[in-house]
Amino acid sequence: MTGIERIGVVGCGLMGAGIAEVCARAGLPVTVVERDAQAARAGRLRITRSLDRATARGRLTAERREATAARITVVDQIEALQDRDLVIEAVAEDERLKADVFARLDDAVTSAHTVLATNTSAIPVIRLAAATGRPEHVVGVHFFNPVPVLRLVELVPSLLTSADTVARAETFVTRRLGKEVVRTSDRAGFVVNALLVPYLLAAIRMAESGTASVEDIDRGMVLGCAHPLGPLALTDLIGLDTTRAIAESLYAEFREPQYAPPPLLSRMVEAGLLGRKSGRGFHRYDEQPQRETAPPG
């Protein structure tokens, strides 16, 4: 079983930047690919700001912050990933975009032992693996936002993923990154989102029907159930566009009403009210909007 030492990440939005950061914190060299030079600069800035916040809060020393930043290279050419041991796709939650990335990785990555991983929240892994000529090397490695803080990773092999690929991915996540792994079969939503998203959609329907205000729905679950965030604040953190995409993937696979996106969710996404990353969702936010980026072109 070949070890994983050189990491590639495709996409430097909220998730891609977080994945690159935790890999670099673990002492690994990371190459991140964005669609163009402007997006690469924005991605680098996103990583820098995250490292600065961690340093200001005492989670990183100044020395370790500099060493971590030095391990990360952000470029706009997918060919830069040709010699990576592991490449993690972290573009927007859109099946066509992700499949296109995997098709391009199949051409760009020349190492025969490279693990190709997807950070998809809900899309069945086999659909993305089918875009490559090496489905045995493709596996789901689903991190949670914010990646530097949350310890869980869902490990999702498809029907064609080899045992060696699964073992290498799990060893990397647990031993190198210090994360906890849950294994799940290759079904839409996996474990966490299959349980979480119906709850979030129920809260949106409650707000939509006027049963209770957004503030009272969130306060009810924080104070009544000891949740750290209410469901609508959590939807803002995840991103309303991402929540809708996960719901659509779940509904397409299972056709159960609880998975169908409520009209209010769709209207808000169409209006650009995406949550924290756009500065406004169910709540308003003062921080600088951080939009997800499209895959590298």
At residue 288 the predicted structure's pLDDT band, cuts being 50, 70 and 90, is: low
Residue 280 DSSP one-character state: B
In a domain, 24, yes or no: yes
75 and 101 together in one domain:
yes
**Residue 1 domain-assigned?**
no
Place 130 in a pLDDT band, splitting at 50, 70 and 90.
very high
Number of domains comprising the chain: 2
Is 273 found in the same domain as 143? Answer: no
Same domain, 266 and 233: yes
**Does residue 148 share a domain with residue 16?**
yes
Whether residues 178 and 210 share a domain: the answer is no
Higher confidence at residue 295 or residue 32?
32
Residue 79 lies in a domain: yes
- What residues form DSSP beta bridges with 4? none
Q: Which has the closest alpha carbon to 241: 126, 122, 125?
A: 122
In which residue are the tokens 């719901």 written?
Answer: 247
On whether both 99 and 35 belong to a single domain, the answer is yes
pLDDT tens digits for range 244-275: 999 999 999 999 999 999 999 999 999 999 99
Q: How many whole angstroms separate alpha carbon 262 and alpha carbon 64?
A: 45
Its sign, for the CA torsion 51, 56, 60, 66, is positive
286 pLDDT more than 90 = no
Residues 79 and 41 in one domain: yes
Query: Is the domain of 123 the same as that of 52?
Result: yes
Find the CATH number of the domain harbouring 238: 1.10.1040.10
In a domain, 168, yes or no: yes
**Residue 142 parent element (H or E):** strand 138-143
Q: Which of 119, 193, 249, 278 is catalytic?
A: 193
Kind and range of the H or E element at 33?
A: strand 30-33
pLDDT reported for residue 112: 86
- Is 74 domain-assigned? yes
Selected catalytic residue, list 34, 154, 170, 292 = 154
Range of the domain at 239: 193-278
296 confidence band (pLDDT: 50, 70, 90) = very low
Angle, CA of 21, 194 and 86, to the nearest 5°: 30
Whether residue 160 is contained in a domain is answered as yes
Report, as an integer, the average pLDDT of 181-193. Answer: 96
Query: Rounded to the nearest 10 degrees, what angle do helices 14-25 and 62-70 cross at?
Result: 110
The answer to whether residue 135 scores a pLDDT higher than 90 is: yes
CATH number of the domain at 173, please: 3.40.50.720
Strand, helix or coil for residue 228: coil
Q: Which two tokens stand for residue 192?
A: 């966490």
The yes-or-no verdict on residue 161 having pLDDT over 90 is yes
User: By 3-state DSSP, what share of the chain in percent is helix, strand and coil, each rounded to 5?
Assistant: 50, 15, 35
Residue 121 is among the residues annotated as catalytic for this protein? yes
Convert the pLDDT of each residue in 92-117 to its tens digit: 999 999 999 999 999 999 888 999 99
Candidates 21, 50, 93, 121; catalytic one: 121
Q: At which of 164, 183, 202 does a domain end?
A: 183
- pTM for the full model? 0.90
pLDDT digits (tens, 9 = 90+) for 16-56: 999 999 999 999 999 999 999 999 999 999 999 999 999 99
Asked if residue 85 lies in contact with residue 114, where contact means CB atoms within 8 angstroms, the answer is yes
Q: Do 51 and 16 fall within a single domain?
A: yes
- Span 220-237, mean pLDDT? 97
Say yes or no: 208 and 85 in one domain: no
Q: Do 28 and 158 reside in the same domain of the chain?
A: yes
**Whether residue 142 lies in the annotated active site:** yes
- Find the catalytic residue in 21, 95, 142, 278: 142
Strands 152-157 and 138-143 come out as antiparallel
Same domain for 211 and 148? no
| Largest CA-CA distance found in the chain, in angstroms, rounded | 56
Instruction: Tell whether 291 is covered by a domain.
Output: no
